[in-house]
Amino acid sequence: MNKYEILKRYFGYSQFREGQETLSDAILSGRDALGVMPTGAGKSLCYQIPALLLPGITIVISPLISLMKDQVQTLNQAGIHAAYINSSLTENQIAKALKLAARGTYKIIYAAPERLETYGFLEFARQAEISMLTVDEAHCISQWGQDFRPSYLKIVQFLRQLEKRPIVSAFTATATEHVREDIVCVLGLDQPEFLVTGFDRKNLYFAVETPRQKDRFVLDYIKAHPEDSGIIYCSTRKNVDALFEKMQDLSIPSARYHAGMGQEDRRQSQEDFVYDRCPVMAATNAFGMGIDKSNVRYVIHYNMPQSMENYYQEAGRAGRDGEGAECILLYSPQDVIINQFLIENKEENPEFTADELAAIRERDQERLRIMNYYCLTAKCLRAYILNYFGEQSLGDCQNCGNCRKEYEETDRTAEAMAIISCVREFRGRYGVNVTAGTLAGENRAKLREYGVAAYASYGSLKDLGEQRVKGLINQMLAEGYLAVTKDKYALLRLTGKSEEIAQGNQAFMVREVKEEFPQPAKSSASSASRRKSDILNSKGLELFDRLRGLRSEIAKREGMPPYIIFSDKTLVDMCIRLPFRREEMLEVNGVGEHKFEKYGEPFLEEIRTFTGERKEKLFFGEQEEAETRNQPGYSGRKRAKPGKSDFFLSREQAEQFPYAEKYLAPELAARLNELRDIDTVKKTSGAEIIRRSQERGLSEERLVDGMRRKFVTEKGEEAGLFLGTRISQKGTEYEDIYYDEEAQKMVLEWFVQ
CB 251 within 8 A of CB 320: no
The smaller minimum CB distance to ligand ADP, of residues 23 and 420, is found at 23
* Nearer residue to Mg ion within complex by CB, 43 or 139: 43
Q: Using DSSP, state whether 77 is helix, strand or coil.
A: helix
Least distance in angstroms from the C-beta of 143 to ligand ADP: 23
Concatenated DSSP letters for 143-210?
TTSTT--GGGGHHHHHHHHSSSPPEEEEEES---HHHHHHHHHHHT--S-EEEE-----TTEEEEEE-
Q: Does 600 bind ligand ADP (CB under 6 A)?
A: no
Nearest to 427 by CA among 460, 462, 457, 468: 457
Q: Give one DSSP letter per residue of 486-525, joined into a string.
A: SSTT--EEE-HHHHHHHTTSS--EEEEE-TTS---HHHHH
Q: Looking at 33, 45, 416, 555, which residue binds ligand ADP (CB under 6 A)?
A: 45
The vertex-732 CA angle with 729 and 738, nearest 5°, equals: 80
Distance between CA 204 and CA 233 in Å, rounded?
17
**According to CB under 6 A, which one of 32, 272, 321, 534 is a site residue for ligand ADP?**
321
Q: Which stretch binds ligand ADP (CB under 6 A): 38-46, 117-125, 228-236, 271-279?
A: 38-46
Minimum distance of ligand ADP from residue 136's CB (angstroms): 7
**Residue 45: closest CA among 163, 143, 148, 171:** 171
User: d(Cα 450, Cα 441) in Å, to the nearest integer?
Assistant: 13
Measured in degrees and rounded to the nearest 5, phi and psi for residue 396 equal: 60, 50
CB 322 → ligand ADP: shortest distance, Å? 7
379 makes contact, choosing from Mg ion, ligand ADP, none, with CB < 5 to 8 Å by partner type, with none
Q: What contacts 661, CB < 8 A, 6 or more positions away?
A: 740, 741
Choose between 229 and 372: whose C-beta lies nearer to ligand ADP.
229
Query: How far apart, in whole angstroms, are the C-alpha atoms of residue 173 and residue 68?
Result: 17
Distance CA 34, CA 463 (A): 55
45 binds, among ligand ADP, Mg ion, none (CB under 5 to 8 A by kind): ligand ADP
DSSP, collapsed to helix, strand or coil, labels residue 708 as strand
Helices (H), 79-147: 91-102, 119-127
Give the residue nearest to ligand ADP (CB). Answer: 42
Is position 9 an interface residue for ligand ADP (rule: CB under 6 A)? Answer: no
The total number of residues shown for the chain amounts to 753
Interacting partner of 41 out of ligand ADP, Mg ion, none (Cβ under 5 to 8 A depending on kind): ligand ADP
Ranges within 33-52 binding Mg ion (CB under 5 A): 43
Contact 481, 509 (CB under 8 A): no
User: Which lies closer to ligand ADP via its Cβ, residue 41 or residue 112?
Assistant: 41
Residue 43 as a binder of ligand ADP (CB under 6 A): the answer is yes
- Least distance (Å) from ligand ADP to the CB of residue 27? 15
Q: Whose Cβ is closer to ligand ADP: residue 132's or residue 712's?
A: 132
Name 704's bridge partners.
707
The window from 43-51, 82-90, 347-355, 574-582 that contacts ligand ADP (CB under 6 A) reads 43-51
Using the contact rule CB under 6 A, the part of the chain among 37-45, 255-263, 369-377, 454-462 near ligand ADP is 37-45
Give the residue with the Cβ less far from ligand ADP, 395 or 592: 592
What is the spatial distance between Cα 747 and Cα 468, in angstroms, rounded to a whole number?
39
Nearer to ligand ADP, 12 or 686 (CB): 12
For the bound state, the minimum distance from the C-beta of residue 603 to ligand ADP, rounded and expressed in Å, comes to 18
Q: Which amino acid is at 609?
A: T
Q: Which of 3, 8, 16, 594 binds ligand ADP (CB under 6 A)?
A: 16
- Of 35-43, 52-60, 451-459, 621-629, which segment contacts ligand ADP by CB under 6 A? 35-43
3-state DSSP call for residue 59?
strand
Q: Which stretch binds ligand ADP (CB under 6 A): 33-41, 98-106, 239-247, 687-695?
A: 33-41
We find the least distance from the C-beta atom of residue 176 to ligand ADP, in angstroms, to be: 17
Residue 600 Cβ, how far from ligand ADP at the closest point, in Å? 18
Dihedral sign from CA coordinates of 264, 265, 266, 270: positive
> Does 382 engage in binding with ligand ADP (CB under 6 A)?
no
Rounded to a whole number of angstroms, the minimum distance from the CB of residue 226 to ligand ADP is 23
When CB distances are held under 5 to 8 angstroms depending on the partner's kind, the choice from ligand ADP, Mg ion, none that residue 363 binds is none
Applying CB under 6 A, among 37, 67, 280, 461 the residue interacting with ligand ADP is 37
Q: Counting contacts by CB under 6 A, is residue 335 touching ligand ADP?
A: no
Determine the interface stretch with ligand ADP among 36-44, 576-584, 709-717, 719-727 (rule: CB under 6 A).
36-44
- By beta-carbon proximity to Mg ion, the closer residue of 43 and 180 is 43
Neighbouring C-alpha atoms within 13 Å toward the C-beta of 302: 27
Pick from 272, 189, 288: nearest CA to 234: 288
Q: Does 573 bind ligand ADP (CB under 6 A)?
A: no
Residue among 13, 373, 450, 711 that touches ligand ADP (CB under 6 A): 13
Q: Does 324 bind ligand ADP (CB under 6 A)?
A: no
| Beta strand pairing call for 407-411 and 509-513 | antiparallel
Between vectors from CA 407 to CA 403 and to CA 408, what angle results, nearest 5°? 145
CA nearest 288: which of 260, 304, 311?
311
Minimum distance from CB of 43 to Mg ion (Å)? Answer: 5
Cα–Cα distance between 716 and 620 in angstroms, integer?
31
Cβ partners under 8 Å of residue 468, min gap 6: none
For residue 402, give the DSSP letter: T
42 touches, from Mg ion, ligand ADP, none (C-beta below 5 to 8 Å by class): ligand ADP
Q: How far is the CB of 280 from ligand ADP (least distance, A)?
A: 21
CB of 655 to ligand ADP, least distance (A): 45
Nearest to 655 by CA among 672, 640, 643: 672
Site stretch for ligand ADP (CB under 6 A), options 40-48, 377-385, 495-503, 735-743: 40-48
Does 579 help bind ligand ADP (rule: CB under 6 A)? Answer: no
Classified as helix, coil or strand, 256 is strand
Nearest approach in angstroms of CB 674 to ligand ADP is: 40
List the interface residues with ligand ADP, window 257-296 (CB under 6 A): 292, 294
Sign, CA torsion 350/351/353/356: negative
Query: Which is nearest to 470 in space by CA: 493, 426, 439, 427?
Result: 439
Q: Is residue 320 at the binding interface for ligand ADP, with CB under 6 A as the rule?
A: yes
Number of residues that bind ligand ADP (CB under 6 A): 17
User: Is 683 an interacting residue with respect to ligand ADP (CB under 6 A)?
Assistant: no
How far is the C-alpha of 741 from the C-alpha of 516, rounded, in Å? Answer: 35
User: Is residue 39 part of the contact set for ligand ADP (CB under 6 A)?
Assistant: yes
Pick between residue 37 and residue 281 the one whose CB is nearest to ligand ADP.
37
Q: Is 595 in the site for ligand ADP (CB under 6 A)?
A: no
Q: Which is nearer to ligand ADP, 20 or 392 (CB)?
A: 20
Contacts of 45 (CB under 8 A, 6+ apart): 7, 11, 16, 17, 20, 24
Q: Which is nearer to ligand ADP, 73 or 210 (CB)?
A: 73
Q: How far apart are CA 457 and CA 435, in angstroms?
A: 9
Nearer to ligand ADP, 146 or 673 (CB): 146
- For ligand ADP, give the closer residue by CB, 198 or 395: 198
Query: Do 380 and 395 touch, CB atoms closer than 8 A?
Result: yes
CB 576 within 8 A of CB 618: yes
Q: Using the rule CB under 6 A, which residue among 17, 246, 277, 488 binds ligand ADP? A: 17
Judged by CB under 6 A, does residue 44 bind ligand ADP?
yes
- Residues at the interface with ligand ADP (CB under 6 A): 13, 15-17, 20, 37, 39-45, 292, 294, 320-321
Can you give the binding site for Mg ion, defined by CB under 5 A? 43
